[in-house]
Amino acid sequence: MAAFKFRLQSFLRLKEQLEKNAKNELGAAVMKLEEEKARLRAIEDNIDLTMGDFRKACQGIIQPEKIKELKAFLEYLHTERERQEVNVKRQQENVDKIREKLVEIMKERKVLENLREKEYLQFLKEEERKEQQRVDELVSFKEAAKADKTS
């Protein structure tokens, strides 16, 4: 039996490598997204703590300097939160873009694998047909040899 050779095997290997690279890229992007989300949560926690300090400073003995300092820090934290929300959104878009690219590569690889499977099944049918033809020729040859002996 001859060996099966898929004519697009090198292309399939390339798609498999691209898929592997895209999966690694997606993993790195998801980790970066989680880091950005953690930074955002840290900023929001800091805002909550500072708001508590601000409320305490506004009660009891009022310290104008401390209130002014806390208000300025809160404004800074709100600006940082907005900036970090943009970073999280940008990283989420990056993850989505990489995921779409990965899905497309996976579809292309699957198409090639399906084509390879169809070609392999066709190859097996052809090999079976050739084997049957060899058997038929052998049987015909033996029958012809018998007929020659009896004549």
Q: What domain range includes position 85?
A: 9-150
What mean pLDDT do residues 10-27 have? 96
Q: Which residues contact 87 (CB under 8 A, 6 or more apart)?
A: 36, 39, 40
Q: Which residues contact 96 (CB under 8 A, 6 or more apart)?
A: none
Among candidate residues 4, 19, 15, 23, the one with its CA nearest the CA of residue 113: 15
> Which CATH number characterizes residue 40's domain?
1.10.287
Residue 1 lies inside a defined structural domain of this protein: no
Q: Which pLDDT value is given to residue 1?
A: 63
Q: What's the pLDDT tens digit per position in 93-142? A: 999 999 999 999 999 999 999 999 999 999 999 999 999 999 888 888 87
Residue 44 lies inside a defined structural domain of this protein: yes
Residue 47 lies inside a defined structural domain of this protein: yes
Residue 111 lies inside a defined structural domain of this protein: yes
Q: What's the pLDDT tens digit per position in 63-81? A: 889 899 999 999 999 999 9
High-pLDDT (> 70) share of the chain, %: 99
Residue 149 has pLDDT above 80, yes or no: no
Task: Annotate 73-139 with DSSP letters as a single string.
Answer: HHHHHHHHHHHHHHHHHHHHHHHHHHHHHHHHHHHHHHHHHHHHHHHHHHHHHHHHHHHHHHHHHHH
The better pLDDT of the pair 91, 147 is held by 91
Residue 3 lies inside a defined structural domain of this protein: no
Number of domains in the chain: 1
Residue 15 lies inside a defined structural domain of this protein: yes
